[in-house]
Chains A and B, each alone.
Chain A
C-alpha cells in the first residue's frame, strides 16, 4: 500500500515542505527580533546556486550545503546593516535583497544553467521502519536533511520558549525600549537573528539545489517558495512547530501537479495546478485576517520598526 499515490504524495510533501520550514523558521527568528526580512526568496536562490556550484566543484554535499548557508547568511547581513544600523525602510531593503539576490544567482549560475545531475542527498531507508504502512515512507524514508530540519524546529521552539536568550529575543521584538533598559543590546540581538534567518534561508535554498531539483535554473529552483514561507510565518503565528505543520500543507499543494497526474486526474490544466499553492496562500492569509485579533496575536509588536535610543 506504500506505493499508493497518496502515500507517495504525502512523503513528497514532507520533502517539499522542508525548505519552506527552514526559511519560515529563520524568518520567525528574525521577525521575533523585530526585523522583517522580505528577502527570503533572494537568500534562498543565492544559497541554492552557491550550493549547486560548490557541489559541482568539490563533490562534497556537506561542503556544498555549507556554501549555500554562507551565501544566505552573507546576504542577510546586507539587510541587517541597512535596516538595523542605517535604519532604512525594511520593506524596500528586503525587496532590494530579492532583486539583487535573484540577479546575482542568475549571474553566477549562468554557466551551469540547465546542467543536470543527481541529488547529493538521497533518501535513507531505515530498514524495518521504512516498511511500516504510510508512516514508513513518510517519516522514515526521507533524506538526512529532513531530519536535521525537524531538529532545527525543535531547537528553535525550545530556544524561543524556555531559554534566557529566547526571552531577550522576544523582548527585543516586542518592546526594544524595555529590552534596552534591561541592558540587552538590541542591535546585536537583531543582527544575530537576522543572520540566523539568512543561515536557515540559505540552508533551505541549498536543500532545493542538493536534494530536490536536479538542475540549476533560476526560475524553477525556488519558484516563489521564499514568498510562501513569508506567508507561512503569519500562518504559524510566529511559532516554529506550527510552521512545520503548515509547511506540510503547502508542500502538498506544491506537489499537486505530480500527484493528480499520478492519480490520473487530468481534467485540471497543469497551469492551474501550478497556481494552486499561490492561490491557496492568498486564501489562507485572507482567512487568517478574519477574526482580527487571533491572526495578529503572534505578531511581534515592534516588527518592522527601527529602534533609536535617544529620540530628543
Chain B
C-alpha cells in the first residue's frame, strides 16, 4: 500500500469551552476516497479546517508526503496540494466563475489575462467531467454548479488532496449522483478525496476507507468493504438512536391551514404533519412568509383555522392561531442581543406598557419546562447554543396553544440530542391536534417525520405523496425539476 499523502497525528483543537478535536489521527492516500463520518458537532468540520490550514491545531502534527508541515493559512495548504471545498461555498456572488478562480491565485499575472484564464478553466472542467461556463456570474448559478466551481478552483490550484465538507447536504439526489461521478473521476486520476459526511447511506456508496468521529475523538477507522451501516452507526453515536419514522397515530381531522396560491394548493389538517421538500431557493421562504402574513401574494388565499389572513400582516396570522419557526433562528426568530425573557415577549400581544416582572416569571417557567440551559431569564440569547436557542423559540411559539405550526429547517445545525428534542416537540404538538408544516432541505428529515410530502420546485408544487412508502427517487426527480 502507498505511503499516505496526508497524515495527521494527535490533532487537538480547542475553542472556548469546547475541545473540538481531541487527539485525532488520520491517514489519507492517493487514489482513495477517505470519509470522515460523524454527527453534527463531532468535530469533522474542525478537522477539515485544520487539515486545510484554516485553523492551526493547538497540538499535534501534519505530514504531507512524509514531511512535517505547519500550515499558517489555506494558501499554505494549497501550496502543499491540499484544497478544501467548504460546506458553505467560499465564492463571490458578483464575480464571474473565472474571476472567482483567479482570486487569490498568486500565479496570475499582475494585469489579468481573462481570455487565457477562461480557456484554462474550460479545459480543466472538461478533463474531470465538470461542465462550467467561465463567464457566468456565480450569483446566477445553481447550488450544484457552484459546488463545481469550488472543485474546479481547488483543482486549478493543483490540489492533490480535495477536502469536501458535507458536499451533499444541499444537493438534490440527482446532483449527488453527478458529484459522485466526479469524485470517482478524481480517484481514478490519482487524487485523494477526503469526504466529510454524516449520512451513512452515501458514505457506504462512495468511500474506500472510513474514519468515524464522536465528540472530537476518532471512534473507528475501517475499510468500507469490511463494515456495514449498523456498525458505523454505533461507532458514530455510541448507542442505538431512534430516528425511525414518526407518523400520525390517528386519523387526521379538519384542515387547519388552507393555502390556495398560484401553483400551491395545500391543506394541513389537525394532527397532521406535512413536509415540504425541495432545494433551497425554490420558494420555501416565500411560502412560509406568505402563510405567516409577512408577504402579500399577488393572487390567492391563505386561511388559518378558517380565518382568511392573506396579506393581513404577521399579527393577524398569529391571532388566527399561527406559530412560525423561521429558518434563521438567531436573527429572525430571536433578536440576538435581547434576553430570553424579552425574546419570549417578541411575538406576544402587548399593551401600551410591557410588564417586565410577568415576562421574567414566564421566562423562568419556560426555562424549566423546555429544559433550556441558560443562566436565567436575563441571559442574552446570542450566547445560547443552537439547541437552546431553538428551545426558546419553540417555547414561545408553542405557548398559547396555536393551531398551526410552520417550522423551517428546525433541526439544522443542531446536535443529535437537540435534534431529537425538537422532533419530539413537533411530534407532541401534532399529537395534541396541531397542524404542522415542516419545510426542510434535509430530505431524510422530511421522510422521517411527514405524514404527507410535497416537493417545491420553482415556487410550485411539483410532486405530492403520502409519507408512508414515499418513492425517494421520484421525490429526487421532482426536486430537480424533472417530471
A residues near B (Cβ < 8 Å) are: 162-165, 167-168, 170-171, 174-175, 177-184, 301, 310, 312
Q: Are B15 and A168 in contact (CB under 8 A)?
A: no
In chain B, what residue has the closest Cβ to A298? Answer: B94
Residues 14-66 of B contacting A (Cβ, < 8 Å): 15, 54-55
Shortest A190–chain B CB gap in Å is 15
Shortest A162–chain B CB gap in Å is 6
Q: Are B86 and A164 in contact (CB under 8 A)?
A: no
Q: Are A174 and B95 in contact (CB under 8 A)?
A: yes
Most buried by B among A164, A165, A180, A312: A164
Q: Are B90 and A163 in contact (CB under 8 A)?
A: no
In chain A, what residue has the closest Cβ to B157? Answer: A182
Shortest B467–chain A CB gap in Å is 36
Of B102-110, B182-190, B246-254, the one touching chain A = B102-110
- The answer to whether the Cβ of B91 comes within 8 Å of any Cβ in the partner chain is yes
Residues 97-138 of B contacting A (Cβ, < 8 Å): 99-100, 102-105, 108-112
Across the interface, B73 reaches (CB within 8 A) one of A170, A177, A178, A183, namely A183
Across the interface, B103 reaches (CB within 8 A) one of A162, A163, A178, A301, namely A178
Chain A residues whose C-beta falls within 8 Å of the C-beta of B315 in the assembled complex: none
- The answer to whether the Cβ of B92 comes within 8 Å of any Cβ in the partner chain is yes
Q: Are B112 and A163 in contact (CB under 8 A)?
A: yes
In chain A, what residue has the closest Cβ to B18? Answer: A312
Shortest B84–chain A CB gap in Å is 8
Q: Are B74 and A183 in contact (CB under 8 A)?
A: yes
- The answer to whether the Cβ of B80 comes within 8 Å of any Cβ in the partner chain is no
- Assembled-state Cα–Cα distance A174/B93 (Å): 8
Chain B residues whose C-beta falls within 8 Å of the C-beta of A164 in the assembled complex: 102, 108-112
- Are A174 and B92 CB-contacts (below 8 A) given A165-B110, A167-B103? yes
Q: Are B15 and A177 in contact (CB under 8 A)?
A: no
Can you report 26 A-B residue pairs in the complex whose CB atoms are below 8 A from each other? A164-B102, A164-B109, A167-B95, A167-B103, A167-B112, A168-B103, A168-B104, A170-B92, A171-B103, A171-B104, A174-B92, A174-B93, A175-B90, A175-B93, A178-B91, A179-B92, A179-B103, A179-B104, A180-B74, A181-B54, A182-B103, A183-B73, A183-B74, A183-B78, A301-B93, A310-B55
- Assembled-state Cα–Cα distance A180/B416 (Å): 31
The 8 closest A-B pairs by CB, nearest first: A183-B75, A182-B104, A181-B90, A178-B90, A174-B92, A175-B92, A183-B104, A164-B108
In chain A, what residue has the closest Cβ to B78? Answer: A183
Q: Are B108 and A178 in contact (CB under 8 A)?
A: no
In chain A, what residue has the closest Cβ to B16? Answer: A312
Q: Are A163 and B74 in contact (CB under 8 A)?
A: no
- Are A184 and B104 CB-contacts (below 8 A) given A162-B112, A163-B111? yes
Shortest B82–chain A CB gap in Å is 13
Supply 17 further A-B pairs (C-beta < 8 A) apart from A168-B104, A183-B104: A162-B111, A163-B110, A163-B111, A164-B108, A164-B110, A165-B110, A167-B103, A167-B112, A170-B95, A171-B104, A174-B93, A179-B92, A181-B86, A182-B90, A183-B74, A183-B78, A312-B15
In chain B, what residue has the closest Cβ to A159? Answer: B111
Residues 74-89 of B contacting A (Cβ, < 8 Å): 74-76, 78, 84, 86
Chain B residues whose C-beta falls within 8 Å of the C-beta of A170 in the assembled complex: 92, 95
- Assembled-state Cα–Cα distance A170/B94 (Å): 10
In chain B, what residue has the closest Cβ to A312? Answer: B15
- Assembled-state Cα–Cα distance A171/B95 (Å): 8
Shortest A44–chain B CB gap in Å is 30
Q: Are A171 and B110 in contact (CB under 8 A)?
A: no
Chain B residues whose C-beta falls within 8 Å of the C-beta of A183 in the assembled complex: 73-76, 78, 104
- Assembled-state Cα–Cα distance A53/B188 (Å): 72
Shortest A225–chain B CB gap in Å is 30
- Are A171 and B92 CB-contacts (below 8 A) given A178-B103, A181-B74? yes
- Assembled-state Cα–Cα distance A167/B114 (Å): 12
In chain A, what residue has the closest Cβ to B76? Answer: A183
Shortest A238–chain B CB gap in Å is 11
Chain B residues whose C-beta falls within 8 Å of the C-beta of A181 in the assembled complex: 54, 74, 84, 86, 90
Chain A residues whose C-beta falls within 8 Å of the C-beta of B109 in the assembled complex: 164
- Assembled-state Cα–Cα distance A171/B104 (Å): 9
Shortest B73–chain A CB gap in Å is 5
- Assembled-state Cα–Cα distance A183/B83 (Å): 12
- Assembled-state Cα–Cα distance A171/B90 (Å): 11
Shortest B384–chain A CB gap in Å is 14
In chain A, what residue has the closest Cβ to B88? Answer: A177
- Assembled-state Cα–Cα distance A181/B104 (Å): 9
- Assembled-state Cα–Cα distance A183/B75 (Å): 5
In chain B, what residue has the closest Cβ to A165? Answer: B110
Shortest A55–chain B CB gap in Å is 37
Chain A residues whose C-beta falls within 8 Å of the C-beta of B111 in the assembled complex: 162-164
In chain A, what residue has the closest Cβ to B153? Answer: A182
Chain A residues whose C-beta falls within 8 Å of the C-beta of B95 in the assembled complex: 167, 170-171, 174
- Assembled-state Cα–Cα distance A183/B157 (Å): 12
- Assembled-state Cα–Cα distance A164/B113 (Å): 10
- Assembled-state Cα–Cα distance A174/B110 (Å): 21
Shortest A85–chain B CB gap in Å is 19
Shortest A69–chain B CB gap in Å is 25
- Assembled-state Cα–Cα distance A13/B238 (Å): 76
Shortest B223–chain A CB gap in Å is 32
- Assembled-state Cα–Cα distance A178/B149 (Å): 13
- Hey, what's the 0/1 contact readout for B147-171 against A, CB within 8 Å counting as 1? 0000000000000000000000000
Shortest B194–chain A CB gap in Å is 17
- Assembled-state Cα–Cα distance A168/B104 (Å): 7
- Assembled-state Cα–Cα distance A210/B67 (Å): 61
Across the interface, A178 reaches (CB within 8 A) one of B54, B78, B92, namely B92
- Assembled-state Cα–Cα distance A178/B95 (Å): 12
